[in-house]
Amino acid sequence: MNNTTSPLMPTYTLLYANAEITDIRDFLAAVHTAADHLDAHIICINADKVAGRLHIKTALAHASRTWFTDKNPIARSFEMEVLLWVAATRQTSVAARFGAQKGTIPLWVVVVPAKDNTTNEIARLPGLTLYPTPPATAEETNAEKKVRLMQEFSVSEMELSTVGCERLPELVAERVALSAVYR
């Protein structure tokens, strides 16, 4: 749990899970029900599409600012606003690809604000298997994921070779921050 509070960053809980989603509508309905029980926002993010915690934290900070402080979001829901920032886009159709999808996928689950009973509520979601702590692979970028992130966030080979592959998450977080220019 992150206990940092500020006008830009509310408290949040970040969990990691494997998901087996057979019906996306049923899964999202269960997520909305859990969010209602927690009186919180629950955002499910496809872990294969993001560059780890730094990427998510950067997007969450920007989404929180636009939703809670500036009150000028693009999306109609905070959850979609977070996904828009995660995807570094203004297009909800693009951002939706960064959320939960039908099939077997790894998920980062963000709950805003943080609540004491979050883990128990999220563990009840259908098809989810929560990790007590994210596995080391949650932050790793294999060759396939590297190519996908470079393509999604327009990171060139030259740029990556200049800073080093280990800094790809920082480059992606930078793209998220720079997307504010296009808003």
Rounded CA-CA distance 130/98 in Å is: 19
Amino acid at 97: R
Neighbour-count burial of 35, counting CB atoms closer than 10 A to its CB (0-12 exposed, 13-18 middle, 19+ buried): middle
The pLDDT of residue 163 is: 96
Domain of 44 in residue numbering reads as: 13-182
Q: Mean pLDDT, consecutive 10-residue segments, the chain of 183 residues? A: 58 97 98 97 98 97 95 96 97 97 98 94 97 93 96 97 96 95 80
* pTM for the structure as a whole: 0.93
Give every strand in the sheet of 103-112, ordered side by side.
Answer: 41-46, 103-112, 13-21, 128-130
The pLDDT of residue 3 is: 44
CB of 7 closer than 8 Å to CB of 68? yes
Residue 128 lies in a domain: yes
The pLDDT of residue 183 is: 76
CATH number (domain holding residue 116): 3.30.2380.10
Residue 8 lies in a domain: no
The pLDDT of residue 164 is: 95
CB of 161 closer than 8 Å to CB of 39? no
Could you give the number of structural domains in the chain? 1
